[in-house]
Chain A
Amino acid sequence: MAKTILAVDDSGSLRQMVAFSLKAAGYDVVQAVDGQDGLNKAKEKTVDLVLTDQNMPIMDGLTLIKNLRELGSYQKVPILMLTTESSDEMKAKGKAAGANGWLVKPFDPKRLIEVVQKVIGS
């Protein structure tokens, strides 16, 4: 069965690009438009990987990660931050919140799939 990835980004174009690329690589993708939406969708179905943007309205990526880690079912689900902020500060915050890794925007689809495969396999 195909693995499911939750892609959280307020930017529709980037979200679609991410979703399209991942689907093309054989994954199932659930899309969410902000942290809160992401949290709700994550609760509906436990996914195999969460990819989240940081800067979003309503709930940002770090808060989403913290919230997810508080859910029993998301203790061990890998979470990657997709962010334009690649500063060490941001990475430290990401780690503290419970993220497993980061991917700097902009990235191309190939890079994304590479990273995803590395984390959850194909």
Chain B
Amino acid sequence: MTIDMSQFYEVFFDEAEELLAEAERLLLGINIANPDNEELNAIFRAAHSIKGGAATFGFMDMTEITHVLENLLDKIRKNEMALTAEHVDAFLAAKDVLKMELDGHRLATEVDQEQVADVKMMLKQLSEAGAVATPVATDSTVSVSATPPPVEFSAVAEIAQNEIPDGTSCFNIVMPDITEKDVENLQEELGLLGLVALSKQSDGHFVITLTTDSSQADIVSICSFIVDPDDLVITLKTDASPVKAPQVAEIKPVVAETVESKADTGTKVLVQEEVGYGLFEEEGKEKQEEGYGFFAPFQPHPDAVKANLIGDDTALTLANSGTTSAQLAASTAKVEATPVSTASQDADRRNAGRRESDKVPASAEASSIRVGVEKVDQLINLVGELVITQAMIEQRISMLDPVHNEALINSVGQLTRNTRDLQESVMSIRMMPMDFVFSRFPRMVRDLAAKLNKKVDFVTVGAATELDKGLIERIVDPLTHLVRNSVDHGIEIPENRRKAGKSDSGTLTLSAAHKGGSIVIEVTDDGAGLNRDKILAKAQSNGLPVSENMTDSEVFSLIFAPGFSTAEVVTDVSGRGVGMDVVKRNITAMGGSVDIRSALGFGTTISISLPLTLAILDGMSVSLGQSVYVIPLNLIVETLQPRAEDIKTVTGEGRMVHVRGEYLPIIALHSLFNHATDITDPTQGVLVLLESDGKKSALFVDRLVGQQQVVIKSLETNFKRIPGVSGATIMGDGSVALILDVAALIQMGQSTNYITGAASFSNQNNQHMQSNA
């Protein structure tokens, strides 16, 4: 049984990340002139919690920033300092740095120390600026005296001493044998807490004199990431120093032992072993009538309390938490009720036996549990298999005599329902609210608008809409791109907006909503809109096939063409297109589609439609010869059996079908896949009308088999990519069916005529099929 602190790191990282995001959200929404107290408190708590966690788990860089941040926030929330826009900027910058440091610990990404130093400086300056206006009012009983400890002080140090303000304490910190460089670093770090002066002791040890309102614990925290706190000797410069043992014993009756501090410091200070906590009352004292009320020496003399820290070898600092937790690991199982000794060597002797309860994991979160994504995926996979098995049973059962097997059939019906419920529940585990994506944009829009001198109101709608975690992660980049484009090129500068009769600030709306089996995410701006004529002209000059008869939607889709977007055209015309082809490709790869609606002068809406999940698909199975294929149901417009007179052959276009005034190209699947079938006349088979990316086609198959949910299995893990096939699934009878890639089929159908010719392509395709079979 080991208590390894690192097991809590992930929880801390997640928690800190959430707190940072929450703090950022609050900061972006805060009313600077009249900040809401609750919001300030919440931001303060976020900084405070991160500090506590970071300190406990030993992430000192984060502790430092949050410490300064917390102090500043505390002053603001106590109305000792007025909140300014500068503060908000600094807090946001601090948030970024903390996130960077967090990622540095978590993902071993690089941390820009310069940025860290900048932010620290900024916070420090703000803190000092405020301190001048409002002196720190700390209730303190520390009496500062000029009695110097046995240390030679430089002139600087003495000046510093003379300027000790009320409410602060002056500490002498004797450095162990460390390099001058380290001393300098430490001096700089401690400078964040207050006034620092450096001197050298007669024995060659450096001494930093710090005048601060921070506690000794803070000093130890800061020092501990450069030097071992055990080697550090900190003395409070007061009358009472060095601390006398009797005084200590009186204050903390639970502690008996005192030891002498390390001899090599040259400073003789008596210290206790017990540090960092106190009991207001000795346990078990007869004070029954008062319950657990307190008696006399409840308030330890501050000198004693602070001096307590000195030389404590199990110090409350985290630098050594690794070791202490390891020692604890060996010691916690069963502890005797003998008087406690803190000597760590004793720890090992204390673990006499182990308990059953040791085996119980202690991770019971109050309202939610965190599990690894791979566990959830495993679960989803297993449920997928279960669904298939269940479908197999169902199919077998349908062949049985319903009269003789009524009970069995009923039970299987029950199993079917249970399986479906289970599947739904399991799938919902992976669902996350869109807020995870949306929440990162307010900040981005704010910064971007400020940079471009634009005014943008950012609105989100439907942030609670849920989407599969995998998709959530992959939608971030395309959405970032679209939002940036909207601010950069869509929304005009205030001057132009006024000319166009609009309000100064543009509105950018990010919305998410469920529509049928998919989720629709829209980025809407009330900016300049797309200029159809200019896009057409640009497309023509780029050699793209265009005609005046194209619908607006088709014209706007041209901006997704690779290389369409050159800066000058994009900026002048409409402002879209930088990397839009990449956006489109990413979304298509996720099984989604993009659509643009725009009105010149009124704005643009880019609409992304995504499937709810990547793992399961609502499909229509169709048969072709002996094989079954699955078509994603959401891409099917309708199915029909054509009459002979509706089929026309157009020169160069192959066969077309006339459906309600529209001529759609017929793509014969058997010809496309070079698949043997008896049905080659569309009037004998079925036409499935498909729509993808605004293009329609009629897919000619033998017949419809049925509609069902299928679990998508990737082919690419074991085979190569096949044009026109997006994956495979296992059907109820255990056979494998290929899932058709509708977008690719339509494209293939357009580029070649598969009814009449293009044998070379279909043969080539056929070879793929055979090699993969």
**Looking at the complex, which of B41-49, B79-87, B700-708 is the stretch in contact with chain A?**
B41-49
Contact status of A100 and B362, CB under 8 A, knowing A105-B52, A108-B324: no
Which of B48, B49, B294, B300 has most chain A Cβ within 10 Å? B49
Task: Quote the shortest CB–CB distance from B531 to chain A (angstroms).
Answer: 51
Question: A13–B8 contact, CB under 8 A?
Answer: yes
Chain B residues whose CB sits within 8 angstroms of the CB of A32 once the complex forms: 366
B230 in contact (CB, < 8 A): no
Contact B277 A105 (CB under 8 A): no
> Is A16 on the interface with B (CB-CB < 8 A)?
yes
Q: Interface range on chain B: under 10, 10 to 19, 20 to 34, or 35 or more?
A: 35 or more
Which A residues lie within 8 Å of B49 (CB)? 10-11, 55
The CA of A14 and the CA of B362, in the complex, are separated in Å by: 12
Distance in Å: Cβ of A13 to nearest Cβ of chain B: 4
User: Smallest Cβ distance from A68 to chain B, in angstroms?
Assistant: 11
Q: How far is the CA of A20 from the CA of B5 in the complex (A)?
A: 10
In the complex the two chains form, what is the Cα distance from A91 to B52 in whole Å? 18
Residues from chain B with a CB closer than 8 A to the CB of A62 are none
- A75–B766 Cα distance when bound, in Å, is 83
A92–B141 Cα gap in the complex (Å)?
12
Tell me which residues across on chain A come within 8 A of B317, comparing CB atoms: 106
Instruction: Indicate which residue in B141, B221, B314, B360 contacts A111 across the interface (CB closer than 8 Å).
Output: B314
A69 to B619, CA, bound (A): 63
B464 at the interface (CB under 8 A from A): no
Residues of B190-249 whose CB lies within 8 A of A: 215, 217, 221
Which B residues from 271 to 314 make CB contacts under 8 A with A? 276-281, 283, 291-292, 294, 298-300, 302, 305, 314
Per the bound structure, the CA–CA distance linking A110 and B759 in Å amounts to 77
Cβ of A59 < 8 Å from any Cβ of B? Answer: no
A122 B337 Cβ-Cβ under 8 A: yes
Which of B325-333, B502-510, B637-645, B688-696 forms contacts with chain A?
Answer: B325-333
A46 interface contact, C-beta 8 A: no
Contacts A24-B358, A114-B342: A105 and B56 contacting too (C-beta < 8 A)? Answer: yes
Name A58-95 residues within 8 Å CB distance of B: 75-80, 84, 86-89, 91-92, 94-95
Among B44, B138, B292, B299, residue most surrounded by chain A Cβ atoms (within 10 Å):
B292
Instruction: Report whether B15 and A86 are in contact in the complex, using a CB–CB cutoff of 8 Å.
Output: no
Q: Assuming the A-B contacts A10-B49, A88-B302, are A115 and B277 also in contact, with contact meaning beta carbons closer than 8 angstroms in the complex? A: yes
- Chain B residue nearest in CB terms to A92: B299
CB-CB contacts below 8 Å: A14-31 with B? 14-17, 19-21, 23-26, 28-29, 31
Decide if B33 is an interface residue (CB 8 Å cutoff): no
Query: Shortest Cβ distance from A89 into chain B, in angstroms?
Result: 5
Asked if A12 and B277 sit within 8 Å, CB to CB, the answer is: no
| B254 lies within 8 A of chain A by Cβ | yes
Shortest beta-carbon distance from A45 to chain B in Å: 15
Complex Cα distance A101/B340, Å? 17
A111–B365 CB distance below 8 A: no
CB pair B283 A119 closer than 8 Å? yes
- Are A19's CB and B362's CB within 8 A? yes
Q: Is the CB of B362 within 8 A of A23?
A: yes
From residue A107, how far is it (CB to closest CB) to chain B in Å? 5
B52, A106: Cβ atoms closer than 8 Å: yes
Verify B335–A76 contact, CB threshold 8 A. Answer: no
B334 at the interface (CB under 8 A from A): yes
Chain B residues numbered 1-48 whose CB sits less than 8 Å from any CB in chain A: 1, 3, 5, 7-9, 11-12, 15, 42, 44-45, 48
A98 to B333, CA, bound (A): 31
Q: Within the complex, which residue of A10, A19, A79 is in contact with B364, where a contact is CB–CB below 8 Å? A: A19
> Which chain B residues lie closer than 8 Å to A100 at the CB level?
279-281, 292
Q: How large is the interface on A (under 10, 10 to 19, 20 to 34, 35 or more residues)?
A: 35 or more
Interchain CA distance A92-B294 in the complex, whole Å: 11
Q: Is B181 part of the binding interface, using a Cβ–Cβ cutoff of 8 Å?
A: no
C-alpha gap A24/B328 in the complex (Å):
10
Q: Least Cβ distance of B287 to chain A in Å? A: 10
Contact A20 B277 (CB under 8 A): no
Chain A residues near B321 (CB, 8 Å)? Answer: 106, 108
Contact check, A107 vs B276: say whether CB atoms are below 8 A apart. Answer: yes
Chain A interface mostly helix, strand, loop or mixed? mixed
Across the interface, do B328 and A17 meet the contact criterion of CB distance under 8 Å? no
Is B318 among interface residues, defined by CB-CB distance under 8 A? yes
B641 to chain A, nearest CB (A): 60
Q: Which residues of B contact A117 (CB under 8 A)?
A: 335, 337, 340
**Are A13 and B334 within 8 A (Cβ)?**
no
**Do A87 and B57 contact each other (CB < 8 Å), given the known contacts A12-B365, A16-B365?**
no
A interface footprint on B336-358 (CB within 8 Å = 1, 0 otherwise): 11001010100100000001011
Least Cβ distance of B84 to chain A in Å? 24
Residues of chain A contacted by B743 (CB below 8 angstroms): none
A80 CB contacts on chain B under 8 angstroms: 277, 279
Question: Residues of B contacting A115 with CB < 8 Å?
Answer: 277, 279
Nearest Cβ on chain B to A67's Cβ, whole angstroms = 15
Give the residue of A2, A84, A91 whose beta carbon is less than 8 angstroms from that of B357.
A2
For A122, list chain B residues within 8 Å (CB): 334-337
Q: How far is the CA of A99 from the CA of B360 in the complex (A)?
A: 30
Measured CB to CB, the closest approach of chain B to A34, in angstroms, equals 9
Whether B328 contacts A110 by the Cβ 8 Å rule is yes
Nearest B residue to A98 by beta-carbon distance? B292
A117→B364 CA distance, assembly (Å): 23
Are the CB atoms of B365 and A95 closer together than 8 Å?
no
Give min CB distance, A20 to chain B, whole Å. Answer: 4
Contact of B299 among A12, A21, A91, A109 (CB under 8 A): A91
B426 contacts chain A at the CB level, 8 A cutoff: no
Q: Tell me the smallest distance from the CB of B695 to a CB of chain A, in Å.
A: 50
**CB within 8 Å for A118 and B55 given contacts A99-B280, A109-B3:** no
Do A91 and B283 contact each other (CB < 8 Å), given the known contacts A16-B363, A26-B334, A29-B362? no
Specify which of B53, B221, B277 is in contact with A14 (CB 8 Å cutoff): B53
Shortest beta-carbon distance from B92 to chain A in Å? 22
Cβ contacts under 8 Å, B325 to chain A: 108-110
A56:B45 contact, CB within 8 angstroms: yes
A43→B542 CA distance, assembly (Å): 74
How far is A100 from B285 in the complex, measured between Cα atoms in Å?
12
> B110 at the A/B interface (Cβ < 8 Å)?
no
Any B CB within 8 A of the CB of A33: yes
B168 → chain A closest CB, angstroms: 12
Tell me the bound Cα distance from A80 to B217 in angstroms.
Answer: 19
Report yes or no: B340 in contact with A84, Cβ–Cβ below 8 A: no
* Beta-carbon contact of A119 and B366 below 8 Å: no
Q: Give Cα A68–Cα B204 distance, bound, in whole angstroms.
A: 54
Q: B316 in the interface, Cβ–Cβ < 8 Å?
A: yes
Judged by a CB distance under 8 angstroms, whether A48 is at the interface is: no
Say yes or no: B328 contacts A108, CB within 8 Å: yes
Q: Which residues of B sit under 8 angstroms from A20, Cβ to Cβ?
A: 3, 7-8, 362-363
Q: Is B45 a contact of A57 with CB atoms below 8 Å?
A: yes
Q: Is the CB of A104 within 8 A of B276?
A: yes
Tell whether A13 pairs with B281 under 8 Å between CB atoms, given A2-B357, A95-B298, A122-B336. no
CA distance A11 to B57 in the complex (A): 13
Not counting A16-B363, A106-B318, A108-B325, a sample of 6 additional A-B residue pairs whose C-beta atoms are within 8 angstroms of each other reads: A21-B3, A26-B333, A26-B355, A32-B366, A75-B292, A95-B294
Residues of B near any A CB (own CB < 8 A):
1, 3, 5, 7-9, 11-12, 15, 42, 44-45, 48-49, 51-53, 55-57, 138-141, 215, 217, 221, 254, 276-281, 283, 291-292, 294, 298-300, 302, 305, 314, 316-318, 320-321, 324-325, 327-328, 331-337, 340, 342, 344, 347, 355, 357-358, 360, 362-367
Interchain residue pairs with CB less than 8 A apart (30): A10-B45, A13-B12, A13-B53, A14-B52, A14-B53, A17-B8, A20-B363, A25-B335, A26-B334, A26-B335, A55-B44, A57-B42, A79-B292, A84-B55, A86-B215, A91-B300, A92-B299, A94-B280, A100-B281, A101-B278, A105-B52, A106-B221, A106-B318, A107-B277, A108-B324, A109-B324, A110-B328, A111-B316, A118-B340, A122-B335
Q: Which 8 A-B pairs have the closest CB atoms?
A: A13-B12, A101-B279, A103-B277, A106-B55, A20-B362, A106-B56, A110-B328, A13-B11
